Amino acid sequence: MKPRLLVMREIDHHFLDYLSNYFETDYQPSFSREQFLTSLESAQAILNYSIKIDEELIQHAPRLKLVSNISVGYDNFDIAAMKKAGIIGTHTPNVLNDCVVDLTFGLMLNTSRRISELASTIKRKKWTIKDDVNYYGLDVHHKKLGIIGLGRIGEELARRAKLGFSMDVSYYNRRKKSELENENILWKPLDQLLEESDFVVLLTPLTEETRNLMNASKFEKMKKTAIFINMSRGATVDEKALYNALKNHDIYAAASDVFVHEPINNDNPLLELDNFTATPHIGSATQETRNAMTKLAIENTIEVLINGKMQNVVPELQMLLK
Protein backbone atom coordinates (compact mmCIF):
# COMPACT_ATOMS: atom_id res chain seq x y z
CA MET A 1 0.00 0.00 0.00
CA LYS A 2 1.33 3.43 -0.95
CA PRO A 3 2.09 5.97 1.80
CA ARG A 4 -0.48 8.75 2.13
CA LEU A 5 0.85 12.22 1.23
CA LEU A 6 -0.99 15.42 2.10
CA VAL A 7 -0.15 18.22 -0.37
CA MET A 8 -0.85 21.60 1.23
CA ARG A 9 0.46 23.81 -1.57
CA GLU A 10 -0.79 24.51 -5.08
CA ILE A 11 1.51 22.70 -7.50
CA ASP A 12 1.45 21.93 -11.22
CA HIS A 13 -0.57 18.86 -12.16
CA HIS A 14 2.40 17.11 -13.76
CA PHE A 15 3.91 16.98 -10.28
CA LEU A 16 0.72 15.38 -8.96
CA ASP A 17 0.86 12.79 -11.74
CA TYR A 18 4.45 11.99 -10.79
CA LEU A 19 3.59 11.75 -7.09
CA SER A 20 0.84 9.24 -7.83
CA ASN A 21 3.55 6.71 -8.76
CA TYR A 22 4.75 6.70 -5.17
CA PHE A 23 1.96 8.00 -2.95
CA GLU A 24 -1.74 8.06 -2.34
CA THR A 25 -2.05 11.82 -2.70
CA ASP A 26 -4.52 14.06 -0.89
CA TYR A 27 -4.31 17.41 -2.69
CA GLN A 28 -5.61 20.31 -0.59
CA PRO A 29 -4.15 23.64 -1.73
CA SER A 30 -7.25 25.34 -0.26
CA PHE A 31 -8.69 23.84 2.86
CA SER A 32 -10.72 24.49 5.95
CA ARG A 33 -9.26 23.82 9.39
CA GLU A 34 -11.70 20.92 9.82
CA GLN A 35 -10.72 19.33 6.49
CA PHE A 36 -7.06 19.77 7.30
CA LEU A 37 -7.28 18.08 10.71
CA THR A 38 -9.33 15.21 9.28
CA SER A 39 -6.77 14.62 6.52
CA LEU A 40 -3.92 14.70 9.02
CA GLU A 41 -5.23 11.61 10.79
CA SER A 42 -4.12 9.33 7.97
CA ALA A 43 -1.20 11.32 6.51
CA GLN A 44 2.30 9.85 6.66
CA ALA A 45 3.89 12.84 4.94
CA ILE A 46 3.08 16.49 4.25
CA LEU A 47 4.28 18.58 1.32
CA ASN A 48 4.15 22.04 2.82
CA TYR A 49 5.22 25.66 2.41
CA SER A 50 4.76 27.53 5.66
CA ILE A 51 2.14 25.84 7.84
CA LYS A 52 3.34 25.68 11.43
CA ILE A 53 4.26 22.14 12.42
CA ASP A 54 3.79 22.30 16.17
CA GLU A 55 2.65 20.12 19.04
CA GLU A 56 -1.04 20.89 18.45
CA LEU A 57 -0.84 19.81 14.80
CA ILE A 58 1.21 16.73 15.65
CA GLN A 59 -1.47 15.56 18.10
CA HIS A 60 -3.84 15.24 15.12
CA ALA A 61 -1.29 13.34 13.01
CA PRO A 62 -0.55 9.98 14.66
CA ARG A 63 0.95 8.44 11.50
CA LEU A 64 3.02 11.43 10.38
CA LYS A 65 6.66 10.61 9.61
CA LEU A 66 7.86 13.42 7.34
CA VAL A 67 7.22 17.09 6.60
CA SER A 68 8.78 18.25 3.34
CA ASN A 69 9.03 22.04 3.13
CA ILE A 70 8.97 23.76 -0.25
CA SER A 71 11.34 26.40 1.10
CA VAL A 72 14.88 26.79 2.33
CA GLY A 73 13.72 28.24 5.65
CA TYR A 74 12.11 26.02 8.23
CA ASP A 75 11.20 28.32 11.10
CA ASN A 76 7.69 26.83 10.78
CA PHE A 77 9.13 23.63 12.32
CA ASP A 78 8.77 23.20 16.07
CA ILE A 79 12.00 21.24 16.25
CA ALA A 80 11.50 20.03 19.82
CA ALA A 81 7.97 18.77 19.13
CA MET A 82 8.99 17.07 15.87
CA LYS A 83 12.01 15.45 17.48
CA LYS A 84 9.87 14.14 20.35
CA ALA A 85 7.36 12.67 17.88
CA GLY A 86 10.06 11.26 15.59
CA ILE A 87 8.97 13.37 12.62
CA ILE A 88 11.64 14.19 10.04
CA GLY A 89 11.74 17.58 8.31
CA THR A 90 13.33 18.46 4.97
CA HIS A 91 13.86 21.71 3.07
CA THR A 92 14.99 22.91 -0.38
CA PRO A 93 18.36 24.69 -0.18
CA ASN A 94 20.45 25.97 -3.10
CA VAL A 95 17.88 25.82 -5.92
CA LEU A 96 16.61 29.30 -5.04
CA ASN A 97 19.97 31.01 -4.47
CA ASP A 98 20.21 32.82 -7.81
CA CYS A 99 16.58 33.94 -7.69
CA VAL A 100 16.94 35.46 -4.22
CA VAL A 101 20.12 37.26 -5.26
CA ASP A 102 18.33 38.66 -8.32
CA LEU A 103 15.70 40.25 -6.09
CA THR A 104 18.32 41.49 -3.64
CA PHE A 105 20.05 43.43 -6.38
CA GLY A 106 16.68 44.66 -7.58
CA LEU A 107 15.98 46.11 -4.14
CA MET A 108 19.48 47.58 -3.87
CA LEU A 109 19.01 49.37 -7.19
CA ASN A 110 15.42 50.34 -6.43
CA THR A 111 16.28 52.00 -3.12
CA SER A 112 19.52 53.64 -4.21
CA ARG A 113 18.11 55.06 -7.45
CA ARG A 114 14.63 55.59 -5.93
CA ILE A 115 13.00 53.80 -8.85
CA SER A 116 9.60 52.99 -7.33
CA GLU A 117 9.37 56.34 -5.57
CA LEU A 118 10.12 58.36 -8.70
CA ALA A 119 8.00 56.16 -10.97
CA SER A 120 5.11 56.99 -8.67
CA THR A 121 5.95 60.68 -9.04
CA ILE A 122 5.51 60.47 -12.81
CA LYS A 123 2.26 58.51 -12.52
CA ARG A 124 0.91 61.20 -10.20
CA LYS A 125 1.89 63.79 -12.87
CA LYS A 126 4.34 65.52 -10.53
CA TRP A 127 7.35 65.58 -12.91
CA THR A 128 7.63 69.29 -13.70
CA ILE A 129 11.39 69.96 -13.88
CA LYS A 130 13.54 68.06 -16.37
CA ASP A 131 16.70 67.81 -14.23
CA ASP A 132 15.58 68.12 -10.63
CA VAL A 133 18.24 67.57 -7.95
CA ASN A 134 15.44 66.31 -5.72
CA TYR A 135 15.34 63.21 -7.92
CA TYR A 136 18.99 62.29 -7.42
CA GLY A 137 19.81 58.95 -5.85
CA LEU A 138 23.02 57.13 -4.95
CA ASP A 139 25.44 54.96 -6.91
CA VAL A 140 25.68 51.21 -6.39
CA HIS A 141 28.88 50.54 -8.32
CA HIS A 142 32.20 50.77 -6.44
CA LYS A 143 30.37 50.99 -3.09
CA LYS A 144 30.94 48.91 0.05
CA LEU A 145 28.59 45.97 0.58
CA GLY A 146 28.31 44.32 3.98
CA ILE A 147 26.55 40.95 4.19
CA ILE A 148 25.28 39.64 7.53
CA GLY A 149 24.96 35.87 7.27
CA LEU A 150 27.14 34.48 4.50
CA GLY A 151 25.59 31.18 3.51
CA ARG A 152 25.28 30.01 -0.08
CA ILE A 153 22.96 32.89 -1.01
CA GLY A 154 25.36 35.36 0.58
CA GLU A 155 28.31 33.91 -1.29
CA GLU A 156 26.50 34.27 -4.62
CA LEU A 157 25.53 37.84 -3.72
CA ALA A 158 29.13 38.66 -2.80
CA ARG A 159 30.57 37.30 -6.04
CA ARG A 160 28.03 39.05 -8.25
CA ALA A 161 28.57 42.31 -6.37
CA LYS A 162 32.30 42.14 -7.02
CA LEU A 163 32.08 41.01 -10.63
CA GLY A 164 29.05 42.99 -11.75
CA PHE A 165 29.30 46.19 -9.71
CA SER A 166 32.96 46.28 -8.65
CA MET A 167 31.87 46.50 -5.03
CA ASP A 168 34.09 46.14 -1.99
CA VAL A 169 32.50 43.19 -0.14
CA SER A 170 32.79 42.18 3.50
CA TYR A 171 30.70 39.88 5.64
CA TYR A 172 29.88 38.94 9.20
CA ASN A 173 29.32 35.31 10.12
CA ARG A 174 29.74 33.22 13.23
CA ARG A 175 32.34 31.26 11.28
CA LYS A 176 35.01 32.86 9.14
CA LYS A 177 35.28 31.42 5.63
CA SER A 178 38.99 31.50 4.96
CA GLU A 179 38.51 30.19 1.42
CA LEU A 180 36.90 33.54 0.50
CA GLU A 181 39.96 35.54 1.50
CA ASN A 182 41.52 34.74 -1.89
CA GLU A 183 38.52 36.42 -3.53
CA ASN A 184 39.01 39.47 -1.30
CA ILE A 185 35.70 38.85 0.46
CA LEU A 186 36.67 39.69 4.01
CA TRP A 187 35.22 38.91 7.44
CA LYS A 188 34.66 41.89 9.72
CA PRO A 189 33.20 42.27 13.22
CA LEU A 190 29.53 43.20 13.00
CA ASP A 191 29.89 46.71 14.40
CA GLN A 192 32.74 47.51 12.00
CA LEU A 193 30.74 46.16 9.05
CA LEU A 194 27.77 48.35 9.98
CA GLU A 195 29.92 51.45 10.39
CA GLU A 196 31.74 51.07 7.07
CA SER A 197 29.16 49.64 4.63
CA ASP A 198 27.14 51.61 2.09
CA PHE A 199 24.75 48.68 1.71
CA VAL A 200 23.93 46.21 4.48
CA VAL A 201 22.12 43.02 3.44
CA LEU A 202 20.72 40.73 6.12
CA LEU A 203 20.60 37.03 5.18
CA THR A 204 20.65 35.19 8.50
CA PRO A 205 18.17 32.44 9.38
CA LEU A 206 15.76 33.20 12.21
CA THR A 207 16.97 31.80 15.53
CA GLU A 208 16.70 33.05 19.09
CA GLU A 209 20.19 34.47 18.58
CA THR A 210 19.19 36.45 15.48
CA ARG A 211 15.73 37.58 16.61
CA ASN A 212 15.74 41.42 16.53
CA LEU A 213 19.40 41.30 15.54
CA MET A 214 18.97 44.60 13.73
CA ASN A 215 17.75 46.90 16.49
CA ALA A 216 18.09 50.59 17.31
CA SER A 217 21.70 50.31 18.45
CA LYS A 218 22.66 48.57 15.19
CA PHE A 219 20.96 51.15 12.97
CA GLU A 220 22.69 53.93 14.93
CA LYS A 221 26.04 52.53 13.83
CA MET A 222 25.22 52.77 10.13
CA LYS A 223 26.10 55.67 7.85
CA LYS A 224 23.42 58.27 7.13
CA THR A 225 23.92 57.42 3.45
CA ALA A 226 23.63 53.66 4.03
CA ILE A 227 20.90 51.41 2.68
CA PHE A 228 19.56 48.38 4.56
CA ILE A 229 18.05 45.33 2.83
CA ASN A 230 16.34 42.49 4.71
CA MET A 231 16.13 39.19 2.82
CA SER A 232 16.17 36.89 5.85
CA ARG A 233 13.09 36.70 8.09
CA GLY A 234 10.92 39.53 9.38
CA ALA A 235 11.60 38.87 13.05
CA THR A 236 15.36 39.38 12.60
CA VAL A 237 14.61 43.12 12.49
CA ASP A 238 13.04 45.39 15.10
CA GLU A 239 10.56 47.06 12.74
CA LYS A 240 9.93 49.99 15.09
CA ALA A 241 13.67 50.70 15.24
CA LEU A 242 13.89 50.50 11.44
CA TYR A 243 10.97 52.91 11.11
CA ASN A 244 12.63 55.41 13.44
CA ALA A 245 15.95 55.14 11.62
CA LEU A 246 14.25 55.88 8.29
CA LYS A 247 11.90 58.55 9.61
CA ASN A 248 14.77 60.42 11.29
CA HIS A 249 17.05 59.90 8.26
CA ASP A 250 19.61 58.07 10.36
CA ILE A 251 19.96 55.84 7.29
CA TYR A 252 19.22 56.72 3.67
CA ALA A 253 16.74 54.00 2.73
CA ALA A 254 15.68 50.42 3.31
CA ALA A 255 13.84 47.57 1.65
CA SER A 256 12.41 44.34 2.98
CA ASP A 257 10.96 41.24 1.40
CA VAL A 258 9.97 39.81 4.79
CA PHE A 259 8.00 41.05 7.79
CA VAL A 260 7.14 40.10 11.34
CA HIS A 261 3.48 39.69 10.34
CA GLU A 262 2.76 38.30 6.87
CA PRO A 263 0.77 39.51 5.06
CA ILE A 264 1.98 42.82 6.45
CA ASN A 265 -0.52 44.79 8.52
CA ASN A 266 -1.97 47.64 6.46
CA ASP A 267 -1.33 50.07 9.31
CA ASN A 268 2.38 49.23 9.54
CA PRO A 269 4.00 52.70 9.67
CA LEU A 270 6.87 51.57 7.43
CA LEU A 271 4.44 51.68 4.50
CA GLU A 272 4.05 55.44 4.92
CA LEU A 273 7.71 56.16 4.17
CA ASP A 274 8.98 57.15 0.73
CA ASN A 275 12.44 55.80 1.58
CA PHE A 276 11.14 52.31 2.33
CA THR A 277 10.40 49.63 -0.29
CA ALA A 278 8.32 46.57 0.54
CA THR A 279 7.85 43.38 -1.48
CA PRO A 280 5.49 40.54 -0.46
CA HIS A 281 7.99 37.78 0.40
CA ILE A 282 8.80 37.01 -3.24
CA GLY A 283 12.48 36.10 -2.92
CA SER A 284 11.98 32.79 -4.72
CA ALA A 285 8.74 33.68 -6.50
CA THR A 286 9.44 32.98 -10.14
CA GLN A 287 7.84 30.17 -12.11
CA GLU A 288 11.18 28.51 -12.80
CA THR A 289 12.48 28.64 -9.25
CA ARG A 290 9.24 27.58 -7.56
CA ASN A 291 9.03 24.61 -9.92
CA ALA A 292 12.62 23.70 -9.07
CA MET A 293 11.83 23.96 -5.35
CA THR A 294 8.72 21.81 -5.72
CA LYS A 295 10.67 19.21 -7.69
CA LEU A 296 13.35 19.07 -5.01
CA ALA A 297 10.78 18.85 -2.20
CA ILE A 298 9.18 15.90 -3.98
CA GLU A 299 12.57 14.24 -4.46
CA ASN A 300 13.29 14.79 -0.77
CA THR A 301 10.00 13.12 0.14
CA ILE A 302 10.71 10.08 -1.99
CA GLU A 303 14.33 9.70 -0.93
CA VAL A 304 13.65 10.05 2.79
CA LEU A 305 10.29 8.33 3.23
CA ILE A 306 10.62 5.55 0.67
CA ASN A 307 14.36 5.04 0.23
CA GLY A 308 15.47 5.98 3.74
CA LYS A 309 18.18 8.35 2.51
CA MET A 310 19.45 11.50 4.21
CA GLN A 311 18.49 14.05 1.54
CA ASN A 312 18.13 17.67 2.68
CA VAL A 313 17.00 16.70 6.18
CA VAL A 314 17.33 19.78 8.39
CA PRO A 315 20.40 19.47 10.64
CA GLU A 316 18.47 19.46 13.93
CA LEU A 317 16.48 16.36 12.91
CA GLN A 318 19.13 14.31 11.12
CA MET A 319 19.61 12.03 14.13
CA LEU A 320 16.17 10.58 13.45
CA LEU A 321 17.53 8.84 10.33
CA LYS A 322 20.80 7.63 11.83
In DSSP terms, which residues pair with 48 in a beta bridge?
A: 69
Choosing from 9, 91, 114, 233, the catalytic residue is 233
The one catalytic residue among 9, 91, 114, 281: 281
The phi, psi pair for 186, rounded to 5°, reads -110, 140
Is residue 281 flagged as an active site residue? yes
Written as one letter, the residue type at 17 is D
Torsion angles phi and psi, residue 101, rounded to 5: -65, -40
233 is catalytic: yes
CA distances from 113 to 133, 141, 260 (A): 13, 12, 26
Catalytic residue among 56, 181, 262, 288: 262
Catalytic status, residue 14: no
How far apart CA 159 and CA 157 sit, in angstroms, is: 6
Q: Any idea which residues carry the catalytic annotation? A: 233, 262, 281
